[in-house]
Amino acid sequence: MKKYLAILFLIAFTVPSVALASWWNPFSWFNNWSFNKKEAIPQVQVEVEKTTPSADNSAIVIKTEQDIAKQETKEQVRNNTVSVSPDVLICNGKEWSKCPAGHNFYCPAQGDAQCVPQLSVLTNNQVNTSVKQDPPPSLAPQQTSQETQKTSPSNTILCNGKYWTPCSSGRELICPANGDAYCKVQLTQVQLQRATNNKNNFIQRFDILLKDYRDFRDIQSKEIDAMNQMLVELGKYTGAITELKVTLTKQRRERLIKSLSSFNQLITARERMKSDYQNLDVEMYLENNFEDALQDGSSFLNKTKTQFEQDKAVYYDYISKQIHI
């Protein structure tokens, strides 16, 4: 009995001490690690690298220097550029001032430019007396910079900001106040007077043609009135013949109305042409052959008159052959 009590006593005191011992408890083996383990703090080593100019950086520096050089070059060219005034003419590589009033600027194929006096046209009310003309003023070339002479085309004339080649022999280049330059025939006083007379004669003949146009327009208007009167008379009668006459009369009246409308437009255009001819310079009149326009207008009028008379004859011949109303 004592033996069993001793065993129970031993178990009662031994088992708890063994069970609660830390060295025997597997769950307590790793608890102390969180206290004894020291975390190593990483040491950061900062190194300052000395950069040397690489190829890319050198390229950037060189490019910047080139841009600066280009910009300086542009500014230098801009400062050296000389703007040409519209009042300056260039002839054979030299700049010249415009001629005074009453003179035209003349640029020969070679040599210096000249101021040529303008020729006046004598009218019927003027007396043709010999007047001593003053010598043409001499032109002095203007001082130009070397840059301007290099950029100006050779053998050209500058007029209103544009370069023009010299005119052919017997013509002079005219530079107006505004607009483009043009070549003008050089005429003597006698030639100018003869050309003026020819132009005036052309205008007179053109007036006669316009009068013929207006007269024929009046004839067509009267014929339209005659067709209206014919329709009034035919309205008093009935029958198949009368209806046929009414149809033919209406058809002819419509043809006359269309022809008259076109003819009025043609007369308006011819009147504008006459105004243009009157305002045209004598030299420009000689440059163009306006006689063809006059002949074409006359031929058209004669052809239109012939067609009108034929249509009228056919109409009245048919009406007269029918049974009288």
pLDDT of 55: 42
**Cα separations (Å) of 114 from 144, 314, 324?**
19, 70, 84
Cα-Cα-Cα-Cα dihedral sign, residues 122, 124, 125, 130: positive
Distance CA(80)–CA(145), nearest Å, equals: 9
CB 141 within 8 A of CB 163: no
pLDDT of 291: 87
pLDDT of 15: 63
Mean local confidence (pLDDT), 286-294: 82
User: How do residues 49-59 score in pLDDT, each as one tens digit?
Assistant: 444 444 444 44
Phi, psi of 114 (to 5 degrees): -140, 160
Asked if residue 197 has pLDDT above 50, the reply is yes
Q: What is the bridge-based pairing of β-strands 162-164 and 171-174?
A: unpaired
End-to-end CA distance of the chain: 179
Mean local confidence (pLDDT), 23-47: 50
CB 145 within 8 A of CB 80: yes
pTM: predicted TM-score of the whole model, two decimal places: 0.46
Q: Which residue ranges make up each domain of the chain?
A: 91-124+135-186, 191-321
CB 171 within 8 A of CB 186: yes
Task: Retrieve residue 174's tokens.
Answer: 């005219």
